[in-house]
Amino acid sequence: MVFIGDIIAKEEEYLAGKGTVVDEEGNIIASVIGKVKKDPQKKEISVLGKLVLPQVGDSVIGLVTDVKEKVVLVDIQEVKGQDDKKRTLPKTSGVIFIANLSQSYLENPRQAVKIGDLIKAQIIDEDPGAYLLTMKDGALGVLLGLCSKCREKLLEKGKDVKLKDCSVMICSKCKGIETRKLAKDYIYKGEHK
């Protein structure tokens, strides 16, 4: 498998076929993600790009790896398109800005998510290093939240009074209270009242 920008051959070795470009130094470079195909008779090298890349609007399952003052960092595990088919991931970094965590005004991202949470989000933009994500929509948010003290699962206790689309969560073990912005299909929803 080669990625966009990978040098796959020299111009003196092969002719540049489909899915390739030639740079100023005579390197043949992949212009799509896919498999390299060499045609020994034509002396041609090409890249068969069958893979569909993530796009704006696709849904993402990811693990929260860091929560900073204004942003949440996500390790993207899986991307599905609006056709429900899996996408190939050239990069796995996701970023959610605090304003895209919830429809309520948050003072701190930790009111909606914490490190180690499994989340469902949506791609709203892309830059060379990461996908920009949102979990503002009602269906999006935390799929599985773990207690920040004892790492046990959090159960939904009820809706938060101030943060309207967030929930008050109780730890199934230490009974600690935290808040989360839950996805519609939160894994332990409804177990605790």
Q: Which is nearer to Zn ion, 115 or 124 (CB)?
A: 115
**DSSP track, 24-86:** TTSEEEESSSBEEEEETTTTEEEEE--PPPP-TT-EEEEEEEEE-SSEEEEEEEEEE-TTS-B
Region of 48 please: left (phi>0), alpha (psi -120 to 50) or beta: beta
Q: Which is nearer to Zn ion, 8 or 147 (CB)?
A: 147
Residues that bind Zn ion (CB under 5 A): 147, 149-150, 152, 171, 173-174, 176
Q: Which is nearer to Zn ion, 56 or 174 (CB)?
A: 174
Q: How far is the CB of 176 from Zn ion (least distance, A)?
A: 5
Q: Is the dihedral of CA 86, 75, 106, 152 positive or negative?
A: positive
Closest residue by Cα to residue 165 from 193, 192, 190, 142: 142
Q: Which is nearer to Zn ion, 76 or 147 (CB)?
A: 147
Q: How far is the CB of 116 from Zn ion (least distance, A)?
A: 12
Q: How far is the CB of 155 from Zn ion (least distance, A)?
A: 11
Strand partners, 158: 168
Q: Which is nearer to Zn ion, 112 or 147 (CB)?
A: 147
